A and B are shown apart, each in its own frame.
Chain A
Amino acid sequence: MTAPELPQSSTDTEVPEEPGAVETVLDLRGLTKRFGDTVAVDSIDLAVAAGSFTGIVGPNGAGKTTTLSMVTGLLRPDGGTVLVHGIDVWAEPDRAKRAIGVLPDALRLFDRLSGAQLLHYAGVLRGLDAATVRQRTADLVAAFGLEDATGRLVADYSAGMTKKIALAAAMIHSPRLLVLDEPFESVDPVSAANIVDILQRYVAAGGTVVLSSHGMDLIQRVCDHVAVIVGGKVLAAGTTDEVRGGESLEERFVALAGGRRAAAGMEWLHSFVE
């Protein structure tokens, strides 16, 4: 963890990175998306420093996927800019996209390809040559524990395996920025620990990870920065310790997201059906 340990009572934390001192790899300014009358993302500003491991958390429907889709060039924003390494994703998409690795949520893969074919396809589309793709495919398959599955069609994979092969495809071109939407969903704990390990080494080498997740414990443990998005707005952002301010991230998140619903009026649930 890069953030210094702080006294639990103090909320006046010392910011380790001065703004501008470390390169900002991802910079959202006034990013906005509307669907009809609903504002899904409401003028979000967010800066992610190079070499950081940033978690984006928020309740269902908060606009996380919408935001990440606009960052990766998959969804056209209604307003605002996305800068990746200073390149505007929506003005110069080709240059910007080269630096990004993407794991989208709830989008299909070309699942009539075998795992090996899919990795090859992703690598070659990203401009790698055959030898590089072959070597990286072997490494990724070993790292994600997919050795037995490379010949099978992705359509026949389980949900967790599909997630892993998609994650591998997102990394194959060694991007500077990985944008991962729900990378741990339906992944077993052993594989999740494996993936965290891979991502932490990537960050240690200077890469940047932005991921969304509902696993608060995991984010608190793994991410050095956190942004809380609720109702299309960033309610809190900063180092993980700043944001949680002495509480656990889960407690802080539930408070920010509107608190627990009182479970009153559910007494019938305690008198059981015959």
Chain B
Amino acid sequence: MTAALVRLKLRLLVNQFRRSPWQVAGLALALLYGAGITLLLVVTLVALRFAPTAISTAVVVGGGSIALLAFLVVPIFVGIDDTLDPRRFALFGIERTRLAVGLAVTGVVGVPALALLLVSFATLATWSRSAAAILVALVCVPCIVLTGVLLSRIGATGAGLLLSTRRSREAVAAVLVVGLSLLAPLMVLLTNLELGRQALTAIGSVVAVLAWTPLGAAWAAPASIAGGDAAGLGQLLVALATVVLLGLLWRELVGVALVSTGRRARPQTLAGIGWFGRLPATPRGAIAARAISYWARDVRYRVSIISIPVTPIVLVLVLGLAGVPGPVLALIPVPVVALFIGWASHNDIAYDHTAIWLHVAAGVRGVDDRLGRLAPVLVVGLPVLVAGSFVSAAIAGRPLLAAPLIGVAVCLLLAGTGIGGVSSALMPYPVPRPGSSPFQQPNSTTGVAAVVQSVLFLLQLAAAAPAILLGLVAIEGSVAAAWWSLVAGVVVGVVVLWSGTAWGGRVFERRGPELLASALRA
């Protein structure tokens, strides 16, 4: 049983390399990256052999606890590796203990678990200060690996059981975005020197607590013994108990998973036809209504909506803590938001997945499709950016700078949507499918997507270059440059949007079947 599952897992891993060259290249890059990090950690741990026990303990226990926490948390949010979800074995009638053991062992076969194995093995070198310490470390290595693997299996399966409804996943996704964005200023706070010194003493007491928790005990036991502290034996007991308890919990969870089909959400009901009734009943109006409904309802768009305002806030916080003066700071958010909003629509068609067939079969005019999709972006984006420009200029204490801000922002938004109108019809790349987690990027995106995304960013900035340069001159005090920046921004933006829509519309009409084909491959 166990051997069969391990073979299945190995087969799945090998098959990852039997895909398109782009995917293989991305995978190889990820593996190299992982191998590099692992090597770095191993070298660090060996080097820590010669550091004072207190410092080695802090690094190993602190870092190790975070690593084990990641094993639990990452599968919950990212939903990785559900290929070996116990529910998939429900119909085979396998006894649950055997299945639980088999799946847990299979969990060791995988890049993260192998890295954990190597890294925890390297702690043998760190604690090669006494025979007793090595002996305890030798017991702790399998404890660490088993704890990590069991935590990740429990995280993935538990999340699968509890968060299987569409809306609960969406809620978790939204919370995660906000949480991650708030991490950045926290990092700045910590790297700030004065606070950092206080933090270091705080770390000592945190580590002392972690050493007795399930996450840190297995890392801490050899450290204590190496430092001549008999408490290490107690920590060893905690580590062993952790593995046993997690094993029992995992077995229990497999049992539950085998007989459950997941939660069902109560479907929501809409009265009437919403935006479709408010906008004109033309193809362009209907596509606009559909786009607005999706921006409001589809979690993949919602993540964009949340991250667009959060990004500049984080940026301002970080730069502010780094000591950039307030008036300069005030000018930053509006162009950044404009850049992101303008860029957001560059792969819009891919988000429809194969549903785009309806547009192809109905022979929708390309211009209608392009402009309809832009409606939410332009109708919401333009007023927000213009109002934001006035607010920013007021905060900076220089009302005249509203003119170049509007010029730059409008140009970035219009040029971005114009360029996106062409690229989304010409070079769609795969995105998360409708209804799946917005963080579940399809593997094939790595190569093509990165190229498309960065080229578009550069084109967008190039289009706005005149307005930006004139705006910089205006900051130096030129009144004329401020007005010319506004003119240049609006003119360039309108021209790029107009030509991009016309060109993108023709591309859409010509490539309709090919767009559907690429959605089918995604």
Spell out A's residues near B (CB within 8 Å). Answer: 72-76, 93-94, 97-98, 100, 102, 104, 107-114, 116-117, 120-122, 124-130, 133, 151-153, 155-156, 169
Is A151 within 8 A of B270, CB to CB?
A: yes
A125, chain B: closest CB distance, angstroms: 4
Residues of chain B lying within 8 A (CB to CB) of residue A97: 361-363
Pair B435/A155 contact, Cβ less than 8 Å? yes
B361 to A, closest residue via Cβ: A102
Residues on the A chain within 8 Å of B293, using CB: 112-113, 117
Q: In the complex, A43 Cα to B299 Cα: how many Å?
A: 44
Which residues of chain B have a CB within 8 Å of any CB of chain A? Answer: 166, 267-274, 276, 281-283, 285-287, 289-290, 293-294, 297-298, 352-355, 357-364, 434-435, 512-514, 516-517, 520
**Could you tell me if A117 and B513 are in contact, using CB atoms closer than 8 angstroms?**
no
Name the CB-closest residue of A to B280: A130
A155 touches B363 (CB 8 A): no
Contact (Cβ within 8 A) A155 B276: no
Given A112-B298, A124-B282, A152-B361 contact (CB < 8 Å): no
A76 to chain B, nearest CB (A): 5
Residues of the A chain whose Cβ atoms lie less than 8 Å from the Cβ of B272 = 116
Chain A: minimal CB distance from B437 (Å): 15
Partner of A122, one of B166, B274, B285, B358: B358
The residues of A that contact B166 with a CB separation of less than 8 Å are 155
Cα separation A186 to B362 with both chains bound (whole Å):
25
State whether B283 touches A75 (Cβ < 8 A).
Answer: no
Q: How far is the CB of A75 from chain B (nearest CB, A)?
A: 6
- Measured between alpha carbons, how far is A252 from B341 in the docked complex, in Å? 60
**Residues of A contacting B273 with CB < 8 Å?**
114, 116-117, 120
In the bound complex, residues from chain B placing their C-beta under 8 Å from that of A153 are 267-268, 270, 297
Instruction: Offer 17 A-B interface pairs, CB within 8 angstroms, sorted by A.
Output: A72-B361, A74-B357, A74-B513, A98-B363, A104-B361, A107-B354, A108-B355, A110-B358, A111-B435, A114-B274, A116-B273, A117-B273, A133-B281, A151-B270, A155-B434, A155-B435, A156-B268
* CA gap between A153 and B296 in the complex, in Å: 14
Q: Which residue of A lies closest to B517 (CB)?
A: A75
B residues less than 8 Å from A126 (CB atoms)? 362
Alpha-carbon separation in the docked complex, A258 to B298 (Å): 47
Closest Cβ of chain B: how far from A80's Cβ, in Å? 15
Complex contacts, B270 vs chain A, CB 8 Å: 114, 116-117, 151-153
- Are A107 and B434 in contact, with the CB atoms below 8 A? no
Chain A nearest CB from B269 CB (Å) reads 4
Name the B residues within 8 Å of A129 (CB-CB).
281
In the complex, the answer to whether A111 meets B434 with C-beta atoms within 8 Å is yes
A residues less than 8 Å from B269 (CB atoms)? 114, 151-152
- Alpha-carbon gap, A120 to B281, bound state (A): 9
Supposing A151-B269, A152-B269 touch, asked if A125 and B354 sit within 8 A by C-beta, the answer is: no
Q: Which of A94, A120, A122, A125 has the most B CB atoms < 10 Å from its CB?
A: A125
In angstroms, Cα B293 to Cα A97, docked, is 27
Q: How far is the CA of A116 from the CA of B272 in the complex (A)?
A: 7
Task: Identify 12 new A-B residue pairs, CB closer than 8 A, beyond the known A75-B513, A110-B294, A117-B293.
Answer: A72-B361, A73-B361, A93-B363, A108-B352, A111-B355, A116-B270, A117-B274, A122-B358, A152-B267, A152-B270, A153-B267, A155-B434
Cβ–Cβ < 8 Å partners of B287 in chain A: 125
B454 to chain A minimum Cβ distance, whole angstroms, is 29
Give bound CA distance, A74 to B114, whole Å: 46
B363 touches A120 (CB 8 A): no
Is A124 within 8 A of B358, CB to CB? no
For residue A108, which residues in chain B have a CB less than 8 angstroms away from its CB?
Answer: 352-355, 434
Question: What residues of chain B lie closer than 8 Å to A122, measured between beta carbons?
Answer: 358, 362
Interface centre among A76, A116, A117, A152 (most CB of B within 10 A): A117
Neighbouring A residues of B354 by C-beta, 8 Å: 107-108
CB distance from B430 to the nearest CB of A (A): 14
Find the residue from A75, A122, A124 having the highest chain B CB count within 10 A: A124
Q: In the complex the two chains form, is A120's CB within 8 Å of B286's CB?
A: yes
Query: Is B363 touching A73 in the complex (CB atoms < 8 A)?
Result: yes
Give CA–CA (A76, B513) in the complex, Å.
6
Contact B290–A121 (Cβ < 8 Å): yes
Q: Across the interface, do A112 and B512 meet the contact criterion of CB distance under 8 Å?
A: no
| Chain B positions within 8 Å of A76 at CB level | 513-514
Q: Which of A75, A125, A130, A151 contacts B358 (CB 8 A)?
A: A125
A73 to B356, alpha carbons, bound, how many Å? 13
Q: Which residues of B contact A127 (CB under 8 A)?
A: 283
By the criterion CB–CB under 8 Å, are A124 and B357 in contact?
no
CA distance A75 to B521 in the complex (A): 13
Contact A112/B434 with A125-B286, A133-B281 known, Cβ cut-off 8 Å: yes
The answer, among A73, A74, A93, A121, for a CB contact under 8 Å with B276, is: A121
A59-B216 Cα distance, complex, nearest whole Å: 60
CA distance A169 to B357 in the complex (A): 13
Instruction: Name the distance in Å between A161's Cβ and chain B's nearest Cβ.
Output: 11
Q: Min CB distance, A36 to chain B, in Å?
A: 13
Residues on B with C-beta less than 8 A from A124 are: 276, 281-283, 285-286
Known: A109-B358, A130-B281. A94 touches B363 (CB 8 A): yes
Q: How far is the CA of A230 from the CA of B269 in the complex (A)?
A: 44
CB A115 to nearest CB in B, in angstroms, measures 9
Is there contact, CB below 8 Å, between B283 and A125?
yes
Most buried by A among B267, B268, B282, B358: B358
In angstroms, Cα B298 to Cα A112, docked, is 7
- Look across to chain B and name the residue whose beta carbon is closest to the beta carbon of A157: B267
Give the complex CA separation of A128 and B282 in angstroms: 8
In the assembly, what is the distance between CA of A69 and CA of B68, in Å?
A: 50
Residues of B within 8 A of A130 (CB): 281
Rounded to whole Å, the gap between the CB of B35 and the closest CB of chain A is 35
- A225 to nearest B CB, angstroms? 23
Q: Are B364 and A125 in contact, CB atoms less than 8 angstroms apart?
A: yes
Nearest-CB residue, chain A, relative to B299: A112
What's the Cα separation between A98 and B513 when bound, in Å?
A: 16
Please give me the residue from chain B that is nearest to A115 by CB atom. Answer: B270
A73 in contact with B290 (CB, 8 Å): no
Please determine whether A121 and B297 come into contact, CB atoms closer than 8 angstroms: no
**Contact residues in B for A74 (Cβ distance below 8 Å):** 357, 360-361, 513, 516
By beta carbon, the residue of chain B nearest A125 is B362
User: What is the bound-complex CA distance between A107 and B515, given in angstroms?
Assistant: 13
Return A51 CB to nearest CB of chain B, in Å: 23
**Minimum Cβ distance to chain B for residue A258 (Å):** 28
Residues of chain B within 8 A of A100, CB atoms compared: 361
B91 smallest CB distance to A (angstroms): 14
By a CB distance below 8 angstroms, the chain A residues around B283 are 124-125, 127
Distance to closest chain A CB from B302 (angstroms): 11
* Distance (whole angstroms) from the CB of B378 to the closest CB of chain A: 20
Is B276 a contact of A120 with CB atoms below 8 Å? Answer: yes
Which 3 pairs across A and B sit closest by C-beta, in order of nearness? A130-B281, A156-B267, A124-B286
In the assembled complex, the Cα of A103 lies from the Cα of B520 at a distance in Å of 16
**Can you name the residue of chain A whose Cβ is closest to the Cβ of B359?**
A125
User: Which of A97, A111, A113 has the most chain B CB within a 10 Å cutoff?
Assistant: A113
Question: Which chain A residue shows the least CB distance to B513?
Answer: A76
| Chain A residues positioned under 8 Å from B274 (CB to CB) | 114, 117
Bound Cα distance A102, B516 (Å): 15
Separation of A73 and B516 alpha carbons in the complex (Å): 11
